[in-house]
Structure 1
Amino acid sequence: HCFMGTSLYVRLLLYTRSNLDCGRELNHRHPSAQPLFNLSRPTAFVIHGYRPTGAPPIWINHIVQLLVEQEELNVIVVDWNKGAANLNYFTAVTYTRQAALNLTGFIVRMQEEGASLSSVHLIGASLGAHLAGFVGANLKGKIGRITGLDPAGPMFTSATAEERLDPSDAAFVDVLHTDMNSFGLRGAHGHIDFYANGGVDQPGCPKTIFAGKSYFVCDHQRSVFLYLCALNRTCSFTGYPCSSYSDFLQGRCLQCEAFRPASCPVLGYDVSQWKQTLLKLGQTKVFFSTTATLPYRKLSYRVDMVTWNQYLRWGVVYIRLYSGRSSTEARIDHKLLRFEQYTSTRLLAQFDEDLQQVQKISLRISTGNVIGPRYKMRLLRIRLTPLDRPERPVMCRFDVIMEENMEVAFRPLACDSHL
């Protein structure tokens, strides 16, 4: 099929808590003919993307299991593999419009039989994200929600809003980006756009073509695995509103005043806390970083430092946290930092491991000076504020004398209320 091509055929497979192991194929013309299909419940449609070899996505069963754990709902897998399975990607792109018409007709019949459009949630991966957008546009943006997992970029980079997923396609559109510099689509295309690691190269993915297939698909597929992890609640990805990933890494966007009293937006199924705020704000970009492996989550601290050194120095910062025999290090080296007399510096420190009780902290400022004398640097104050764990104490230390390129260790103290 992948060599010869296929004619489009769409199967709709229903899963509920009563039939998780085997999907029931639905009648396109009579949705309620299937007794397990309760139209009074919310319905989530899962839409896969381009399948060049026709192999079924390995994540379908997993996402079905996780979705039904969120609440009592219908999960419908939209199987358009006959159409998506084709070595000619352009043919698969053409079929998205026809598949969208097919799915639109089914949802209209659901509505005629008593379902509410506001209770419909389309979850589309890659090319499936645009297919979901076309369905939403066909229904005049009246469906409840569309979630786009790294919407496909090829053939859509110059597309108008009507030719791709965009915020007008549903009452609420959330998008996750992981591969904007290759198979994913650049830009912002939802009411909220999450950019994992800036939306481009993902940690742990191959950097050279010698890795084979993984080099091409790893970054793109990471969007699905991050979303699965968020649904499973083993991961918690907090997105910080910011104009760019660079500004986020520089610690310029670590507040979420617009969302108070709710917290910052979190990737996942439940958007009730901050949905209305986003609809008022318009399109919002939020950024977060991940590790290379499960559970992908980094532990983030806002670090505020006040230095008092006689000579101007430039360098990068290394911060290590210790708890018993365990330790984890954050390397803040995306740009050289400036340290001079009475300089206040704010940093974002992200650690791969979550140490619950920090007993010791070490700090090193590396200036690259390996020949001349090592200059002393005086740290008037350092304050570490946990961003993802607000219940944990803020840690401080005052008046620390250190030398450039030399590690200094200290035990954290409680911070005074006025700091």
Structure 2
Amino acid sequence: MKSTAWLSLLALAWSVDANPILGLLNPECKVVHGECPHENITFWLYTNSTRDNPVLLNPLDLNPWDFQPARPVKILIHGYTGHRDFSPNSHIRPVLLDNEDVYVISIDYKPLVPDPCYFSAVQNLPLVSQCLAQLINNLVDRNIVPNENIHIIGFSLGGQVAGQTANYLKRKLKRITGLDPAKPMFVLAGNTSRLDPGDAEFVDVIHTNVFGRGILSPMGHVDFYPNVGSILQPGCREESPDSPGSCSHDRAPQFYAESINSTTGFWGRQCTSWLAYIVNLCPTTGKQELMGYHVSQETKGSYFLETGKSAPFALGKQEDVDNSQTLAQFKLNPELNEIPPDYEPQLLEAFLELDALKAVLNTDGSDLDKQLNWIGREDDEPLARAKL
């Protein structure tokens, strides 16, 4: 066990991508506690007229005139090492403001998710979620924004923040979008700790780095897998040779941003499972569904599509080729449209068994468990309620 763990840690140390293990040894990585509002979590309101000078919102003293006239509200949540001008904000916010009559709220919780503090960053997410829920509850309770007009869009760790926020909301949201929700420390987490279909009336998810930073298993009412959600999205080796995994992860918000005003569209076709798609056992005729901002909220299941190597990425509708006779030989069950729950591929950079980690670090097991205790919650164990 120790030898395996040492090899794993060496691989992590030499990886060109982010190394979350270092955060366990860094005294600067801290789990932050407190009440909402919190000084390390801020909310910035953008409109066409204030895009260069956004309004800093006070969740306890909201000005209704900031949200007049009435428009839909899009809430963007960044991930690990991010901030309010980082992905997905940098990709999605300008396109929304240019093409849609909406308000955009960008969250900034950069002080809680610094590099290399991934493990403490994950433990700080419940506080971020509580404070976001406080803002949303106050917007709705004070009749400033109707609940049905609020749409959360979260990238990476932000996707998991969106899921946790649902634990503290007084009313279920109409829609949550997860953009390659983060995998490390969430594979074994219960539904109270990560995004799932119960978090909103409609949850749509785009997976672009399922063998690395993102989760493979379906997490929404509809899940899209561009280029099989692969570890290496087309064009990323050339675009980012030193960090192709990061590039692939970031493709999710890039695809979503393009989908807002694309006339070509990202069209996916449903398949019985991810594994069936890998071995070419998916129907290549029939109805196709649009991925991204304009997805139909009646869409259910897992959908697959290909994209281009560079922007514009959308390739439009797929060609119909009748392969029904081939598929008939395999007698596939159309209800098996989920990936087996015990199948979740891992990369060394993304996840280590905690037992191996304890052995290598020579850390007292109880102390490490205390640091990471929230990921072991049962599905039916709620997170602590926010003090709103």
- TM-score normalized by structure 2? 0.68
> In the aligned structure 1, how far is the partner of 2:264 from the partner of 2:120?
37
Please give the secondary structure, in 1, of the residue aligned with 2:237: coil
Unmatched 5+ stretches in structure 2: 1-22, 33-38, 327-388
Q: CA deviation at 1:215?
A: 2.8
Does residue 215 of structure 1 match 2:215? no
Partner of 1:293: 310
Does residue 266 of structure 1 match 2:290? yes
Unmatched 5+ stretches in structure 1: 258-263, 306-336, 338-419
Contact 2:163 2:195 in 1 (8 A): yes
Partner of 1:275: 297
Larger C-alpha radius of gyration, 1 or 2?
1
> In the aligned structure 2, how far is the partner of 1:94 from the partner of 1:254?
43
Query: RCO (CA 8 Å, sep 6+): is it higher in 1 or 2?
Result: 2
Match of 1:154 among 177, 181, 184: 184
Match of 2:149 among 119, 126, 144: 119
- Higher mean C-alpha displacement, 70-79 vs 161-170: 70-79
> Equivalent pairs: percent with the same residue?
32
Per-residue CA deviation, residues 300-352 of structure 1 (Å, 9 max, x unaligned), is: 323459xxxxxxxxxxxxxxxxxxxxxxxxxxxxxxx9xxxxxxxxxxxxxxx
Q: Name whichever structure is richer in strand by fraction.
A: 1
One-letter amino acid of the counterpart of residue 45, structure 2: L
Partner of 1:133: 163
Partner of 2:74: 44
- Higher mean C-alpha displacement, 39-48 vs 135-144: 135-144
- The total of aligned residue pairs comes to 289
Per-residue CA deviation, residues 16-70 of structure 1 (Å, 9 max, x unaligned), is: 122122211111212226x332383211100000017x79515524411212344
Contact 2:79 2:158 in 1 (8 A): yes
Partner of 2:95: 66
Per-residue CA deviation, residues 107-132 of structure 1 (Å, 9 max, x unaligned), is: 11101210221211000000000101
Match of 1:85 among 109, 114, 133: 114
Match of 2:200 among 153, 170, 180: 170
> In the aligned structure 2, how far is the partner of 1:141 from the partner of 1:290?
36
Relative to structure 1, the CA distance from residue 39 to residue 254 in structure 2 (aligned partners, 3 Å threshold; closer, same or farther) is: farther
Match of 1:13 among 20, 39, 44: 44
Match of 1:30 among 61, 75, 78: 61
Contact 2:205 2:222 in 1 (8 A): yes
Match of 1:181 among 207, 211, 214: 211
Q: Counterparts in 2 of 1:295-314, with a 5 A limit?
A: 295-298=312-315, 300-303=318-321
One-letter amino acid of the counterpart of residue 15, structure 1: Y
Q: CA deviation at 1:295?
A: 1.4
Please give the secondary structure, in 1, of the residue aligned with 2:310: coil
Does residue 228 of structure 1 match 2:240? no
Contact 1:30 1:109 in 2 (8 A): no
Does residue 240 of structure 1 match 2:269? yes
Contact 1:167 1:190 in 2 (8 A): yes
One-letter amino acid of the counterpart of residue 218, structure 2: A
Please give the secondary structure, in 1, of the residue aligned with 2:290: coil
Contact 1:239 1:267 in 2 (8 A): yes
Please give the secondary structure, in 2, of the residue aligned with 1:275: coil
Contact 2:264 2:315 in 1 (8 A): no
- TM-score normalized by structure 1? 0.63
Does residue 108 of structure 1 match 2:137? yes
Q: CA deviation at 1:140?
A: 5.8
> In the aligned structure 1, how far is the partner of 2:172 from the partner of 2:322?
46
Relative to structure 1, the CA distance from residue 182 to residue 62 in structure 2 (aligned partners, 3 Å threshold; closer, same or farther) is: closer
Contact 1:144 1:171 in 2 (8 A): yes
> In the aligned structure 2, how far is the partner of 1:304 from the partner of 1:110?
51
RMSD of the TM alignment (CA)? 2.9
One-letter amino acid of the counterpart of residue 213, structure 2: F
Q: CA deviation at 1:97?
A: 0.5
Contact 2:209 2:245 in 1 (8 A): no
Q: Counterparts in 2 of 1:397-408, with a 5 A limit?
A: none
